[in-house]
Amino acid sequence: MKKNVLALFMVIIVAASASAQTEAGNWLVGGNLELNTPKNNTTVAFSPMAGYFFINNFAAGAGITWDYTKGNTAKSTNFGVGPFVRYYFGTMNVRPFVHGDWRYQSIKVTITSTDASTTTNGSELFLAAGAAAFINRNVAVEGLAGYDYTKYRHNGDGSGGFKLKIGFQVYLGSDQVAKVTGQ
């Protein structure tokens, strides 16, 4: 009986500490890193983001994306910036969430044999579901799976498909942010 009461008490403490991360007034900072090396092609991408919890479990913020791809005949550099929204469910150490982001993008493609390049602009929409697995009170490993749609101005048709992201997020309480900023 004592073991059951102790186990229940520990579950309540863990659940309470996990729910504090997504309370109104807190921040999240993190992002994703991607390395893809299919045959004769290499892509490196970095996507940092920062957001604020306006109400419990609902965060909104902004992120940037930078990626570089090099293949046999061409290389490209892509930069994007835009907002995101995210809503978390539950109060346990593994917290499911839904996520959406939109980015304005600019891509420069260079043909390696001639050094001729073109730059074009477009947008990207990513809608996903995921889960944040807290490895301690403030840090979570997260995975997202969803639909990514990208359309550039020069191409009348957009392209979309399945995208999987893995990254880290750091959840900061308003008191922790005040210490860092000196307020």
pLDDT tens-digit series, residues 151-179: 988 766 778 899 888 999 999 988 777 77
Regarding the domain delimited by 2-181, which CATH topology (the fold level of the hierarchy) does it fall under?
Porin (2.40.160)
- 19 has a pLDDT exceeding 60: no
Q: Please give the residue that has the higher pLDDT: either 156 or 60.
A: 60
* 79-101 mean pLDDT: 95
Closest C-alpha among 21, 20, 9 to residue 140: 21
Q: What is the pLDDT of residue 156?
A: 65
Lowest-confidence region among 4-18, 24-38, 120-134: 4-18
CA 137 to CA 23: how far, in whole Å?
A: 13
* 53-59 mean pLDDT: 96
Q: What is the pLDDT of residue 160?
A: 85
Lowest-confidence region among 14-28, 52-66, 86-100, 102-116: 14-28
pTM of the entire predicted model: 0.80
CA 144 to CA 130: how far, in whole Å?
A: 4
- 38 has a pLDDT exceeding 60: yes
CA dihedral over 84, 85, 91, 94, signed as positive or negative: negative
Per-domain residue ranges of the chain: 2-181
- 113 has a pLDDT exceeding 90: no
- 18 has a pLDDT exceeding 50: no
CA torsion, points 73, 35, 32, 107, in degrees to nearest 10?
0
Residue 180's pLDDT band (cuts 50, 70, 90): confident
Sequence-separated (6 or more) residues with CB below 8 Å from residue 33: 45, 46, 47, 167
